């Protein structure tokens, strides 16, 4: 079969890690007899430089017409001016919204060989296998009104945490479906003791919990959840939460794995609907401090390409082959700088390809 994949390498280390994920994909293509056709486009800071816009209409259209999108990272000090009209991050948010990818899956697993790189004691990391489902196209990131003005002679800034029932329902149902294939437990994270939007969130979670009696549902306040992620992460399975809460909690959860460079993500519209395009990206940023040196860890992006094969192209065998090869590579001691080694980005990808 032939599949169309749009590549958005982006800024900083993005192009370096995407290039290695593509080498892994090409190896998969030849081994399993598929054809992957790539369209490479600019998005983020590089797109501002080239076109004056972080995401052009044409690039969004190209993404929409492909089977899946693989993204590196966006942003960097060059585009950090708070007064700037456009920012690399705006392109990313417009892309997520434009593709309608309302659920961001961020799995956090701890490889036993990397436990020493985690700030937690090894006994706390035993059995950690969390899937955070972050709502991605609503909440505080997109709510209206939003902006700056002057009110009563004072400068004011407003962001709005807004949710419609259908937005909560669809991400909640997806979380329950994913939990069914795992440990059958959903932790819904909110701030229902303070926020109206969280009370709606909790009400809908409770209703969907009743419709899915085989899944255990628990509600946790976001402050408690952030504490429990550190004191007892093994107790969590699927965690579903609001956009901004999920942004914060997933950075926190990522350090459990020893390095942010290890972790992939998938942003999906609907899990069983091939007509929606999935967006796949490592959870790390553009890491301007190491950009251009060829030393970034490509594993987060390579594992994102495995999620792309699984969720968008329905190539489960190929997806798990990549995941197994990565696991074996780490078991065998291959390490980039972020996890205490000396391998380059390219060499790490080579090690993985060898084990495919």
- Mind telling me the catalytic residues? 141, 191, 223, 247, 251
Pairing mode, strands 278-280 and 216-221: unpaired
Q: Is 190 in the site for ligand IPM (CB under 6 A)?
A: no
Tell me whether residue 45 or residue 209 sits nearer to ligand IPM (CB atom): 45
Q: What is the DSSP secondary-structure string of 289-308?
A: TTTTSS-S--HHHHHHHHHH
Contacts of 256 (CB under 8 A, 6+ apart): 108, 110, 118, 120, 125, 128, 130, 229, 233
Q: Which of 89, 129, 216, 350 binds ligand IPM (CB under 6 A)?
A: 89
Q: Is 92 in the site for ligand IPM (CB under 6 A)?
A: yes
Say how far apart CA 209 and CA 71 lie, in whole Å: 34
Say how far apart CA 39 and CA 146 lie, in whole Å: 34
Tell me whether residue 242 or residue 247 sits nearer to ligand IPM (CB atom): 247
The residue number with the shortest CB distance to ligand IPM is 89
Q: Out of Mg ion, ligand IPM, none, which partner does residue 89 contact, by CB within 5 to 8 A per kind?
A: ligand IPM
Site map (CB under 6 A) of ligand IPM, residues 237-276, x = contact: ----------x-----------------------------
Q: How far is the CB of 256 from ligand IPM (least distance, A)?
A: 16
Say how far apart CA 175 and CA 171 lie, in whole Å: 6
Sheet with 238-241, side-by-side order of all strands: 35-40, 2-10, 68-73, 278-280, 266-268, 103-109, 129-135, 238-241, 185-190, 216-221
Q: Which residues bind Mg ion (CB under 5 A)?
A: 247
Pairing mode, strands 238-241 and 68-73: unpaired
Say how far apart CA 270 and CA 179 lie, in whole Å: 15
Tell me whether residue 92 or residue 125 sits nearer to ligand IPM (CB atom): 92
Q: Is 11 in the site for ligand IPM (CB under 6 A)?
A: no
Touching ligand IPM, residues 60-79 (CB under 6 A) = 75
Tell me whether residue 253 or residue 325 sits nearer to Mg ion (CB atom): 253
Q: What residue ranges bind ligand IPM (CB under 6 A)?
A: 75, 89, 92, 247
């Amino acid at each position: 079969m032939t599949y169309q994949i749009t590549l958005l390498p982006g800024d900083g280390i993005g192009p370096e890690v995407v290039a290695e994920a593509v080498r892994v994909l090409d190896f998969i293509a030849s081994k399993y007899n598929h054809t992957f056709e790539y369209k490479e486009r600019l998005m983020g800071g590089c797109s501002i430089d080239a076109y004056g816009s972080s995401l052009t209409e044409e690039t969004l259209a190209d993404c929409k017409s492909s089977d899946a999108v693989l993204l590196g990272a966006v942003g960097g000090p060059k585009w950090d001016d708070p007064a700037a009209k456009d920012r690399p991050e705006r392109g990313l948010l417009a892309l997520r919204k434009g593709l309608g990818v309302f659920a961001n899956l961020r799995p956090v697993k701890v490889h036993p060989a990397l436990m020493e790189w985690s700030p937690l004691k090894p006994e706390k990391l035993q059995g950690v296998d969390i899937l955070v489902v972050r709502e991605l196209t609503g909440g505080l990131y997109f709510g209206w009104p939003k902006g700056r003005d002057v009110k009563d002679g004072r400068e004011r800034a407003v962001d709005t945490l807004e949710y419609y029932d259908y937005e909560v329902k669809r991400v909640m149902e997806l979380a329950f479906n994913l939990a069914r294939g795992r440990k059958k437990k959903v932790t819904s994270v909110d701030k229902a003791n303070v926020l109206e939007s969280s009370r709606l969130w909790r009400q809908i979670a409770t209703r969907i919990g009743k419709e899915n009696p085989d899944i255990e549902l628990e509600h946790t306040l976001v402050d408690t959840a952030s504490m429990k992620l550190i004191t007892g992460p093994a107790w969590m399975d699927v965690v579903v939460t609001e956009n901004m809460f999920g942004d914060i909690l997933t950075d926190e959860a990522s350090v459990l794995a020893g390095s942010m460079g290890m972790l992939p993500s998938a942003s999906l519209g609907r899990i069983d609907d091939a007509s929606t395009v999935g967006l796949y990206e490592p959870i790390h940023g553009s890491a301007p401090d190491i950009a251009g040196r060829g030393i970034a860890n490509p594993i987060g992006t390579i594992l994102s390409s495995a999620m792309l094969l699984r969720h968008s192209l329905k190539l489960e065998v190929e997806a798990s082959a990549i995941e197994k090869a990565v696991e074996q590579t780490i078991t065998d001691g291959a390490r980039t700088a972020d996890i205490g080694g000396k391998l380059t980005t390219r060499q790490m990808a080579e090690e993985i390809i060898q084990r495919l």
